[in-house]
Amino acid sequence: MKRIAILNGPNLDRLGKREPEIYGRATLTDLANALRAEFGATAELAFFQSNHEGALIDRIAELADAKFDGLVINGGAFTHTSVALRDALLGAHLPTVEVHISNIYKREAFRHTSLTAPACLAVITGLGLEGYHAAVRFLLKN
């Protein structure tokens, strides 16, 4: 059974409350429950969210040391600003898929650049929470 981690960055703990017209009404707990319902029999899923860059970086290192099989990351705003998060992903050598709930290319110009995407196998943007499901499916096949 593959072990896949799902990491969420700043403000994603506010899903369902923050800008529901962009991010929807489902919460992070709803997402975790939906992923467990779909993949619980075929994958061990580990969930982590933090509003702190260092905590995300520490968790990526822990996952690498624990030899996880894959990582789904929504770095939130750190996607566009954090060289440190990018370096952590590159150093972890974990197959990683970057996910964005909204289509970052239809939003503000500063969101069009992802510093972390080059450290990932793929990027999924604009599919809502379904993007997480697609990312886990991809990691399970590869």
- Residues annotated as catalytic are 23, 100
Q: Which residues, other chains included, contact 75 with Cβ-Cβ below 8 Å and sequence gap of 6+?
A: 7, 9, 56, 82, 85, 98, 116
Decide: residue 7, CB within 10 A, 0-12 exposed, 13-18 middle, 19+ buried: buried
Q: What are phi and psi for residue 93, nearest 5 degrees?
A: 55, 35
